[in-house]
Structure 1
């Protein structure tokens, strides 16, 4: 047993662990698991299934990663869980592998801050630099964009999408798509405004935010139909060229919505 793997840990001989990986007491790691350099696995963690974990992750005690999805259709297919680099995954988190009915993979990107008791179900896609607070729960097939923040005790309905830079408040019920840049909370869910403080912290210029504000007013404050708002938003970059990419991100998200957007 390598000196950085505790003597009580059960690591399958077929598992692929970089020599710098640290494994705590009583952890269990299955045969189809790959773990990258400088990742630490806390005590009593169970990592199973076809799971690949990148470098420099900190996984705290009692987490369960790569277990079978909570889906009655699952029949043991070799679906996957993929976790990127530099993530912090706190105590008692549960991430499941995907299903063949969808992508077959549940994926978490890089530099995410995932707090205790977070559940990420099958086929979810979580981007980069997100924050999921304690007890946030993602049902199957949910997508979370980069730098989104999901408040504690928030539940996200299956197939819902949360756009980049969204701020979802404590104990929210999310059952529709939340467009990028929005600040939402409540049950029923309501859009409260733009996540302006978050955008400032991420270095958005005043010019970019002015364009996003104009698009927000068209979508939420002028009583337009969705089609009319989308048409008017296409003209916003003419007066706010710095926000052209942001407006495209917002419009494309809304146009692609299958569940309808929170309004």
Structure 2
């Protein structure tokens, strides 16, 4: 992977990770069009640069992250469903991750839903701005829907927030906060397994020879690509988050719904043309 390819993927990641448009679908299309979707490093890179996107949330909302212990308890409550269901249904999730057509269909169906979702959830007279533990758990259940490739973690968790009478702004922000532990876990696991080629037990037991061997196996060019990718994803994600909160509050989901329809159709077109598309 070249530096320019890394920058393009990082821009795509930063733009789409926190928007309800499915970052997976966009990364599949971008990496396939550049002919790098089948590379093992590409698959690891697309997960690892999520760290840059995560950091953008922490920087933009740093005051919330030092507000109280209760904040972290609610985040943990919201993440528990995904951890539990992901563990129980991991084989089914892995099977779906091999089906590109599932991404395309999810984009299309999700797009149709977003076009009409604003009619279902109008702003309440007494909206919830800070979720309770019960609210957080239910929103976490909605996030689990995003285990289906192409659904969008952002869309499912924000809609989960709307079902709990949260405003669009509050639901979107809580979705961002939920992304931090969720994506951090996925990024850490990918780095350990796919970049350093270690087992979790090697890290937990601090197997220094194997850890050193893992770091030594990474080339200087790969470190450079990872560093640039995370930096670009961080900067782009910050801009995307600021735009999204304002846009969603004012205009709702409809435009994102139409956009998902276009992306889903593009993905189906690429499949029909025989383009080599592999899920990441």
Which has the larger share of strand? Answer: 1
Give the TM-score of the pair, scaled to structure 1. 0.19
The structure with the largest alpha-carbon Rg is: 1
Which has the larger share of helix? Answer: 2
Give the TM-score of the pair, scaled to structure 2. 0.19
